[in-house]
Amino acid sequence: MACSAGPLFCALLLMLISPLTFAFGLEDLQKQLSKPAVVSGPFIQEKHLRALPQPLLSKGRFVLARDHGLLWLLQTPLRQDYRIDANGIARRDPNGWQNLPSRSAGAEQNRLFFAVLQGDSSGLQRDFELALTGTAQQWQLHLTPRSLLLKQVFTRIDISGGQFVERIELSETQGDSTVLRMPESRSAAALSDAERSDFAD
């Protein structure tokens, strides 16, 4: 459609309309994060407790498979493997994978990580008010708890990233917080044999 109000006005109008037309929204974020078949990489988790001067540090590796679930492989300060899939959350012990109670605090936090890494905005919207800013290359997602139960645990959750999720910060009502960083995530077309075995067991 031709603009008859003068070139300067038309240019200004285009500048105003373009951000609205091409805005990066929650559906775009979900498509971007769920596009790779497999995303994996190291993670660093810092648990900041009010009673301790230094954060508790743990490191490990994660594997997020679009059609299978999430492997959360803790390596330090202790080795412990978790798996989140359609059947719930399981922890590996010498006898294999053992299902965990679905309503435990750890299970809820791991389930939240799973939804965030997948970009499952519809799942997150059931429990949180979502506010997304930025672009596909550099975005920030702020979660404010909706339910009374979550409000008793979290004040807010802040997530940021680009092609993949790079940082998650969970701020708790009692003043503690957890910061999770995933600085070197990579995508792959398929699982390795060992990863496929972990999901199949």
| 124, 115 Cβ separation under 8 angstroms | yes
Domains of the chain: 26-200 (2.50.20.10)
In this prediction the pTM is 0.79
| 164, 182 Cβ separation under 8 angstroms | yes
pLDDT digits (tens, 9 = 90+) for 112-169: 766 777 667 777 787 888 899 999 899 999 989 888 888 888 899 899 999 998 998 9
CA distances from 119 to 93, 96, 168 (A): 30, 29, 13
Give the pLDDT of residue 70.
86
Reported as type and span, the H/E element at residue 113 is: helix 105-118
Give the pLDDT of residue 156.
92
pLDDT digits (tens, 9 = 90+) for 153-196: 889 989 999 999 899 898 998 899 989 899 899 999 899 999 99
The beta strand positions in the chain, using DSSP E, are 38-48, 56-65, 69-76, 80-85, 88-93, 96-99, 128-134, 139-145, 154-161, 165-172, 177-181, 186-188
pLDDT digits (tens, 9 = 90+) for 64-74: 888 888 888 99
